[in-house]
Amino acid sequence: MREARRARTRARLLAAVFSLSAVSAAAQSPTPPLRDVFRRVRPAVVVIATRQKELAPEGRRGFVDLQGLGSGVVISEGGHVLTAAHVVQTAEEIVVSFESAVVPARVVASSLLSDVALLQLEKVPPGLVVARLGDSNRVEIGDPVFVVGHPFGLDYTLTTGVLSARRRPKKTAGSMTLREVFQTDAAVNQGNSGGPMFNMQGEVVGIVSALVSKSGGFEGLGFATPSNVARRLLLDQKGFWTGVDGYLVDGEMAGVLNLPQPAGFLVERVAGSSPGSRLGLHPGSFRVTIEGEGVLLGGDVVLEVLGIPIVDEAALEKVPAALARLSAGDLLTVKVLREGKVMELSSRIPPPDMR
């Protein structure tokens, strides 16, 4: 009987050892090598080339065509591409380049406040590869991430790092006010804007946004709009594209421009054939530098959109939802300050196939 008890004890010990070994092996099972994950997601990353009208350099009058370059990522089999709003917001022409195809595209929705935009390809190229949107709420500080994009036109460049912080800044470079951003030490440079930030499973957890740099190059700080923000603004609800870029002016600046209210939206650029252009909004006509930042003045200042007075940042945030509720045939009304006079502009929303 004693021998039988000893045998049962040895059997239990062996079973426990084997069980612990299996758990340890599972815990230590390696994630797929980064090179394999990169090969899988690479075809979903695209180059975005744009053409837009820009105020001519000093010494020249009028406007000139300016070429732009950014990155993007395919997120649906129907040909939807996520990118940064500042890359495409006022573009006259957008071309998306794959490894073996070049396809025109148009903006269907954008959010300047969070710097994300959704493009629709005019046609879906054969063999389209789609990247999966991940849950950005599950990404924690210290988690490894990687960015794929086209910095300075260098195709399919991979950089690695970690999620350095989750931030809610009030202001970033230019006119954008981001609701939430990821900070990373993965290198991002000009041309990376709009490209995807991936987790180690190859899921898109962010869209590369504004680069904070004094030299114009990477200085250890890169930012991305979380994928859940992009999903909520552009996919879960109906979006809208105005084709207008500008700057919220308030405080002393509102006084300098003689606004009849506490704040307004200064129009700097307007894309042709956009809702903003159909309204007849005037873009900026000359450059100034305010506190080290370049601003285009001389354009309209939007005071009210669809009855919503732009009196502060909170009021401006209500505008996208109001615009998204518009349907074909609805009247879009905007009140602006132009050359010292308040005037109202209006236009009808065209059918989707004419936008």
Residues with active-site annotation:
86, 115, 193
**Among the listed residues 282, 242, 278, the one whose alpha carbon sits nearest the alpha carbon of residue 89:** 242
Burial of 193 (0-12, 13-18, 19+ CB in 10 A): buried
CA geometry: angle at 85 spanning 338 and 353, to 5°?
80
Q: Does residue 298 contact residue 285 with C-beta atoms inside 8 Å?
A: yes
Distance CA 82, CA 204 (A): 10
Could you tell me how many residues make up the chain?
355
11 by DSSP, 3-state: which? Answer: helix
Find the distance separating the first CA and the last CA of the chain, reported in whole Å. 88
Within 8 A by CB and 6+ apart from 298, the residues are 282, 284, 285, 286
DSSP-assigned letter for residue 136: G
**Among the listed residues 195, 275, 271, the one whose alpha carbon sits nearest the alpha carbon of residue 240:** 275
**Among the listed residues 140, 67, 112, 146, the one whose alpha carbon sits nearest the alpha carbon of residue 268:** 112
The label of the residue with tokens 């239990």 reads: 12
Distance CA 205, CA 196 (A): 7
Distance CA 312, CA 265 (A): 10
Distance CA 355, CA 353 (A): 6
Q: Does residue 177 contact residue 113 with C-beta atoms inside 8 Å?
A: yes
